[in-house]
Amino acid sequence: MARGDGRLTHDINPQEKGPQDACGIFGVWAPDEEVAKLTYFGLYALQHRGQESAGIAVGNGEQILVYKDMGLVSQVFDESTLNTLVGHVAVGHTRYSTTGGSHWQNAQPTLGATPAGTVALAHNGNLTNTAELFDIVRERVGPSSGELRYGNTTDTALMTALMGSYADRTLEESAIEVLALARGAFSLVFSDESTLYAARDPQGVRPLVLGRLERGWVVASETAALDIVGASFIREVEPGELVVIDADGLRSHRFAAAEPKGCLFEFVYLARPDTHISGRSVHETRVEVGRRLAREHPVEADLVIPVPESGTPAAVGYAEESGIPYGMGLVKNAYVGRTFIQPSQTLRQLGIRLKLNPLREIVAGKRLVVVDDSIVRGNTQRALVRMLREAGAAEVHVRISSPPVTWPCFYGIDFASRAELIATGLSTDEICRSIGADSLGYVSLDALIEASTVPKNGLCRACFDGVYPIEPPARAGKDVLEQETIPGCETPDRDGLARAASLGDPADGLNSLLSAGGAADALRRP
Residues known to be catalytic: 23
460 annotated to bind ligand: yes
Q: Is 215 helix (H, G, I), strand (E, B) or coil?
A: coil
156, 240, 445 from 182: Cα distances, Å: 11, 11, 30
224, 268, 301, 500 from 287: Cα distances, Å: 18, 11, 19, 53
59, 305, 331, 421, 499 from 312: Cα distances, Å: 41, 8, 12, 23, 51
Q: Is the peptide bond before 173 cis (omega within 30 degrees of 0)?
A: no
97, 131, 423 from 478: Cα distances, Å: 7, 12, 23
Angle CA 34–38–42, to nearest 5? 170
373 annotated to bind ligand: yes
372 annotated to bind ligand: yes
- Residue 464 in contact with residue 456, Cβ under 8 Å? no
432 annotated to bind ligand: no
Single-letter residue type at 506? P
State the Cα–Cα distance between residues 91 and 82, nearest whole angstrom.
Answer: 13
Work out the angle between the directed axes of helices 312-322 and 282-296 (0-180°, nearest 10).
Answer: 50
489 annotated to bind ligand: no
Count CB neighbours of 1 within 10 A.
11
User: Of 335, 412, 333, which is closest to residue 19 (Cα–Cα)?
Assistant: 412
Length of the chain: 526
Q: Is the peptide bond before 109 cis (omega within 30 degrees of 0)?
A: yes
- Residue 302 in contact with residue 498, Cβ under 8 Å? no
Annotated binding-site residue numbers for Mg(2+): 310, 372-373
Annotated binding-site residue numbers for [4Fe-4S] cluster: 263, 409, 460, 463
Annotated binding-site residue numbers: 263, 310, 372-373, 409, 460, 463
